[in-house]
Amino acid sequence: MPRKNDNYVYEILTVLAEKAEPLGSGQLSQSMHLKGFNVSEATVGRILSQLDKKNMTEKLGFQGRIITNWGREELVRMQNLQELRRFGNQFIEILESLKEKDLLDILTARKAIERELARLAALYSTEAEIKLLETVLLEQQELSVRKQLTAEHDVKFHKTIASAGKNKVLAAALDLIRHDAKLSPILEYIRTQVGGELVVGHSEIVKAIKLRDPDQAERAMIQHIESLILDVKRYWSIAKI
């Protein structure tokens, strides 16, 4: 498939993934026009035929196309590639603009807040919230195995715990200091450079919350944040060499 069509493919799969019902070439073309893509219905039709052959979309008679499971997997892969491109060029710039102490101060503040949120989550989380944590953890483990970015899942994981703790003041304080859009991918990058793993710490936290053990949940969160602090120190010690 020509590289110039890559953006079209991505947008077509994105639109199909967002819709429950089949969509035709005309509807997809209109949706893409709304997103700023000047692509004709005929071009969309040709791309869809190619996607059908690759088993990423399926034609349902005159109703239109739906995205297949393989198409969804390919969309996730493309999304991760976009994240890598977007963040790849920014990592060095952002790391150079940050000081080691800035990150350590943020992580120290997080430890003070999130240890209590983990305790509260063990006490007050609903079964639905625990299942959500398990789902996020599973997805993060799968991405980690495939060496794909998990920063988005890290954000969702910690936000779910904050929500499950049922303390709006602590949750708001955490939002204030996390700076997720900037720091989560940076911390993930640092951990990959020094061989750390977010998923291991998250697994222990979920286990403790599921057991309704606030002391164990607090210890697991402290260990998780302290491992992040250690990785930041390791990274800067390597960077100084």
What's the pLDDT tens digit per position in 4-57?
A: 567 889 889 999 998 889 999 999 989 888 888 888 899 999 999 999 999 999
Domain parsing of the chain, residue ranges: 3-75, 98-239
Q: How far apart are CA 221 and CA 231, in angstroms?
A: 15
DSSP characters over 179-219: -HHHHHHHHHHHHHHHT--HHHHHHHHHHHHHTT-HHHHHH
Residues in CB range of 42: below 8 A, 6 or more apart: 25
Give the architecture-level CATH label for domain 98-239.
Up-down Bundle (1.20)
Contact 141, 133 (CB under 8 A): no
Going by CATH, does the domain composed of 3-75 fall within 1.10.287.3510?
A: no
What's the pLDDT tens digit per position in 106-145?
A: 899 899 999 999 999 999 999 999 999 999 999 888 887 7
Residues in CB range of 38: below 8 A, 6 or more apart: none
> φ, ψ for residue 200 (rounded to 5)?
-60, -50
pLDDT band (50, 70, 90) for residue 187:
confident
What's the pLDDT tens digit per position in 202-223?
A: 999 999 999 999 999 999 999 9
Q: How far apart are CA 233 and CA 74, in angstroms?
A: 36
With CA atoms as reference, report the closest residue to 188 among 140, 238, 122, 124: 140
Please state the pTM of the whole predicted model. Answer: 0.59
Contact 11, 28 (CB under 8 A): no
Q: How far apart are CA 104 and CA 203, in angstroms?
A: 23
